[in-house]
Copies of this chain bind each other. A is one copy, B any other.
Amino acid sequence: MAKVIFQLEGAGAVTVDANVGDNLLELARRVNVAIDAPCSGNGSCGKCRVQLLEGEVETIPSRHISQEEFDAGWRLSCNCKVTGDCTVLVPDIASAYQSRMKTADLSSPQEVAIFETAQRELKESGIVFENPFRSGVVSMTAPSQEDTMPDVERFIWAVEGTFGVEKVEIPYTVMVKLASTLRANDFTVSVKGEVKGSTFKCMEICAPEDTALVGCAIDIGTTTVTMVLVNLESGEILAKGSSGNGQIRYGADVINRIIQQSRPGGKEKLQKAIVEETLAPIIRNLCRSAKVTPESVVRISVGANTTMNHLLVGVDSDPVRMDPYIPSFFGWDGLLAGDLRLPVNPLAPVLIAPNIGSYVGGDITAGTLASLIWDKDEMSLFIDLGTNGEIVFGNRDFLMSCACSAGPAFEGGDISCGMRATDGAVEACVLDRETMEPKLTVVGDAGQKCVGICGSGIIDIISELFRCGIINAKGLFIREGNRVKRDQHGMGRYILAFPEETETGREVSINEVDIDNFIRAKGAIFSAIDTLLQSVDMTVECIDRVYVAGGIGSGINMKNAVNIGMLPDVDLEKFQYIGNSSLTGAYAMVLSDGATAKCAEVGANMTYLELSTYPGYMDSFVAACFLPHTDARLFPSSCQEV
């Protein structure tokens, strides 16, 4: 036995009895110490670093830890075995993922406009914006010796009159506070609930001033969670917020999380990470910000990929990744907020946008709903760039979809200096062809020094390195200079910022491994598009519109994305970045039963193409793993000066 102390950066310590030979990352997970491990412990991402403060551990060398860092005690926790008592410092990375919560500035007209536009356009496409939730002020006389009706009967009678229904259901949560709420408000109360036919199902009883009916639309991404609170009557956005998905500590991609959930107690841990540690804090924050009670939130809608949906519900998601790759559910309409113990009205139904396959989930059906491509004559390509890349192609007559594993590169994962698009992230970049000096755009206030590179920045850098002839089509460095360095193994890297120029004092660079990772990610996307088009016997010429969605950010430079062979080489005017379409779709669903029905219809009519078994996909992928592509004719406009 050995005593291992995890010293949490800025947050106390956790002491645990370990066995000699225990893996340090596993040990940390067992006691819920959050160590960022996007690759889930296979040694490839280099993010799970901890610093040895006392004692020793057994480890193997890693390319992610320099000699100086090693000497300073830095180790990759996934590569460490316990040999005796030790103390390690755990950097506050995981909590950084979670705590980076943001309640958006709703004064920003752009934020609000996205939802207003979506609602208007969906209405134009024939979607009726109505839902069955109602609130109203209900008045009764107090009981007396002349009027001896008990509270329940008295209340039912009054509610029937107010809402014009024949039957009233009083569930437990309302029943337990009925007597006290009626008396505290002199028998005049606000009642909120759902009308089902001639039945009114009570969901809340409160002071007569509070008649708010609120919906909560949530996009659950593998990496990031975003949500809006919505006035269910007007459609007005009341608050918007986001944070990292707390499941990140169990792996950056869905496969690693499925593996984690299949272990004993795993479903509960993964569910807790998304519900208690991620959704609940944002919801509480947004309710405070919007000044609404949690009980006012009477409906929730969720746009999430198939795995996220399974993990949210707590359903075994092993079938998602196991042959024959059939998830446990596409749609399911039995979920209540109380089942998940979300801090809203426990009776609030949770609408889940339906999955259509293991790797095309509700985020895509919701996003497709929002994109309106199902209502158009023109041929549209809808691309959701996330940890997985999902593609939908078609029009009002047909919809084809497929998915590819892009990995976390678009969100900064698997990249040595990668990060999400938050303060300090290089989000755009232009290089001088002669001097090779960069001009960086960094997220944050003026003067913000750079910390790392986010997805849109990586696209720009690689595109620029290629345009300037600094790297070749395989992503290898072919020019030398002040900013191009090689390590002892000869691996080249381009330095965007020297240590003294950065926030952290560590250089921000991109190396050949990063570029290779990214090329494979963009190759996966392009070959998926290519294969999907082939499957319907079409080519890029047939594309009338390209909708790009996802967390990569509005900063994405479409021209550069075409230049590196990630997006098809069509007229730039055909491109439109539509932001978080999963959230926009969820917004429509929470407000409108018509939108919810349309989303189900879109999902049911969408054909899923399983790429892994599709003949020719692997060839197409390999061909796409060049800059821009082995078949240059596919990218006639690539590599010309902007």
Contacts and interface: CB of A to CB of B under 8 A. Distances in A.
A331 interface: yes
Contacts of A314: 176
Contact of A179 (B143, B319, B330): B319
Contact of A328 (B151, B172, B315, B327): B151
A324 interface: yes
A206 to B, nearest CB: 16
A320 B314 CA distance: 43
A142 B319 CA distance: 12
A462 interface: no
B143 A324 contact: yes
Contact of A319 (B145, B151, B316, B331): B151
Interface string A304-331: 0000000001111011000110111111
B180 A150 contact: no
A334 to B, nearest CB: 5
Given A151-B319, A152-B329, A180-B316, A169 B324 contact: no
A358 to B, nearest CB: 10
B328 A179 contact: yes
A468 interface: no
Nearest to A613: B145
Contacts of A313: 172, 175-176
A159 interface: no
Interface in A351-395: 355
B179 A316 contact: yes
A149 B327 CA distance: 9
A381 to B, nearest CB: 25
Contacts of A149: 326
Contacts of A332: 152, 170, 175
Contact of A175 (B143, B145, B315): B315
A170 B178 CA distance: 29
Contacts of A179: 315-316, 318-319, 328
Interface in A326-348: 326-332, 334-336, 339
Given A176-B313, A339-B172, A329 B150 contact: yes
A171 interface: yes
Contacts of A336: 172
Interface residues of A, number: 40
Interface string A184-228: 000000000000000000000000000000000000000000000
A144 interface: yes
Contacts of A171: 334
A108 interface: no
What is the count of identical protomers in the complex? Answer: 2
B334 A172 contact: yes
Nearest to A324: B145
A153 interface: yes
B324 A175 contact: no
Contacts of A180: 316
Interface string A131-150: 00000000000011100111
Contacts of A330: 150, 152-153
A192 B324 CA distance: 29
A316 B183 CA distance: 11
Nearest to A306: B150
Given A144-B324, A152-B330, A169-B334, 4 more contacts: A143-B324, A151-B329, A153-B330, A175-B332
Nearest 3 pairs of A and B residues by beta carbon: A172-B339, A152-B329, A179-B316
A139 to B, nearest CB: 18
A149 B325 CA distance: 11
Contacts of A183: 316
Interface string A469-490: 0000000000000000000000
A183 B334 CA distance: 21
Given A180-B316, A316-B180, A334-B170, A326 B175 contact: no
A305 B387 CA distance: 59
Nearest to A355: B150
B328 A152 contact: yes
A336 B346 CA distance: 14
Nearest to A336: B172
Contact of A148 (B143, B326, B331): B326
Contact of A335 (B153, B172, B323, B339): B172
